[in-house]
Structure 1
């Protein structure tokens, strides 16, 4: 080997090789970290699996604007609605796991819909980044309903089982399951009337065609005096309705488990996920975020990747049991 090289030159070559080995191993080991340092190098797409104009879209645009300031790159909101959010979810799951495609999704996409019908994605195809917000749910009644409190509603419902109606954004949506949970906790029988969306249900409640909805969309009409709020179905009182007690305060053990979360395709490098989560935490800490979210019955509720993953697993098991126990089906 190297017959024309001196022993001193051979020793130099050997030392260079030995020193290069750990350096090469170190570079390989820190590859993802180096990639995260260079990320983001181009605009990010944030997919919303619903049409423009709803709560999902509003939250996504709020997140995009404030996360852009933290990450230093443009975030483009892309609405891919249809098929109960499954089209947008499939598009996000199919994207490259490089941190340049995000998905904003509610509880239903990850913990409810997959238990009800075949969907073109698997929750395991996503990695949780962070919980973004929680919802101030409202038990809202038509103005002339002869019940002004939850106890009076329960008494009225028990006097005419199955006669009182509640509307929802559709079968097995969070607003449907919220009504099921409240009815079960109160020991009453309500008739479910599904709609194509929350606005349609709200309009029929205002028109007196139905009796109740369990939906934060009612907030503005409650404040306008056109509907009455019997309780908050979230775990805390809505600051916009400080005199309206939570169901838990009234003795009804109900947690509607309503949230919006941020996801990336599975396989996205952990340092990139952590960088997004850190940026989101800083964005959600801005006081103006709370003020804006409050206008549509939401509140910032940050949880990092690990805590949020545990929450999703718990909610998934909860809704699977609820759907099975209640025999809920989607035709």
Structure 2
């Protein structure tokens, strides 16, 4: 081969290599932009038809439109939301299994009910909305106000009963934190879910109900009376009912939930999900459903949400010790 042919061959090889080099980044970008190529599974850790299920279906519908792919809700209820949370933490981190993460993962992971560390075993996508908790009694209850109940409970330690949705859950912990602040001792009656607790309250089996807004339609129908709500501010739907904080008890419980995925999610997939759920949380569709179930919108983007979870984890560590929650769980 003469020198001219050798030079020509080198030029051709160089051009080919350069073209390949240009194509490789484009191929990489094409691979990145392909997600999602198939339907996404969204694990809801609560029963179908409940308030959490309703809000998550609304948010998934909008997020799916943004992602141009369907998001199918898979209800994995049980263990105060921890069955679903565990399923999310142990799923393949490819963006095709995501779900709702209850903030109670910060407590149950420390109590042993969740074999996952919320500080490192999840990718946080968005904090969505909180809950409106309250204390309700029957219309003919001797407790006309929360002040009446506190006075009676101080004079009769352990005699006032309240129904809640499960040991260690937000309603149980919130009531015990309130009792500690009020200097009273209450008799907590645990149920397997809020609906059973509500039914026994309506049936007069217990003195009070501590729950999220399952009581709302019954309060509006005059079948229950709301003594207090637990948020930072009064809820618009029940603006005449004071908060615990207004009544002198420095207790705020709003238990915001969020959307997350397993740890190790690819950066580009995480960004697409964060962008989609940012749009979904701020959509009219989601906000309308949230308003109907008294769920205040409390949006945070993924990184902020992760920092929030870490701060709640630290706060729960102290709360577990102060309320002796491990001992309460052992007693059932």
Q: What's 1:117 paired with?
A: 112
Residues 111 and 35 of structure 1, relative CA distance in 2, 3 Å threshold: farther
Q: What's 1:51 paired with?
A: 47
Once residues 241 and 198 of structure 1 are traced to their aligned partners in structure 2, the CA distance between those partners, rounded to angstroms, is: 20
CA contact (8 A) 2:133 2:254 kept: no
CA contact (8 A) 1:48 1:57 kept: yes
Gaps of 5+ in 2: none
Q: What's 2:90 paired with?
A: 94
Once residues 3 and 96 of structure 1 are traced to their aligned partners in structure 2, the CA distance between those partners, rounded to angstroms, is: 56
CA contact (8 A) 2:80 2:166 kept: no
Q: 2:230 matched to 1:228?
A: no
Residues 310 and 268 of structure 1, relative CA distance in 2, 3 Å threshold: same
CA contact (8 A) 2:58 2:285 kept: no
TM value normalised by structure 2: 0.88
CA contact (8 A) 1:43 1:100 kept: yes
Deviation at 1:126, TM superposition (A): 1.3
CA contact (8 A) 2:162 2:208 kept: yes
CA contact (8 A) 2:163 2:191 kept: yes
Q: What's 2:319 paired with?
A: 322
Matches within 5 A, 1:191-270: 191-216=187-212, 217-270=214-267
Matches within 5 A, 1:154-173: 154-173=150-169
TM value normalised by structure 1: 0.88
Residues 130 and 120 of structure 1, relative CA distance in 2, 3 Å threshold: same
Once residues 35 and 190 of structure 1 are traced to their aligned partners in structure 2, the CA distance between those partners, rounded to angstroms, is: 58
Once residues 85 and 133 of structure 2 are traced to their aligned partners in structure 1, the CA distance between those partners, rounded to angstroms, is: 24
Matches within 5 A, 1:62-73: 62-73=58-69
Deviation at 1:119, TM superposition (A): 3.0
Return the match for 2:281 from 278, 284, 305: 284
CA contact (8 A) 1:137 1:297 kept: no
Q: CA offsets per residue over residues 69-97 of structure 1, 9 Å max, x none?
A: 22221111111223443333333223221
Deviation at 1:201, TM superposition (A): 0.9
Of 123-132 and 291-300, deviating more is 291-300
CA contact (8 A) 2:103 2:255 kept: yes
Q: CA offsets per residue over residues 39-95 of structure 1, 9 Å max, x none?
A: 211111101123323233222212222222222211111112234433333332232
Three-state SS of the structure 1 residue aligned to 2:236 is: coil
Three-state SS of the structure 2 residue aligned to 1:171 is: coil
Deviation at 1:187, TM superposition (A): 2.1
Q: Aligned-pair RMSD on alpha carbons? A: 2.6
Matches within 5 A, 1:120-159: 120-123=115-118, 124-159=120-155
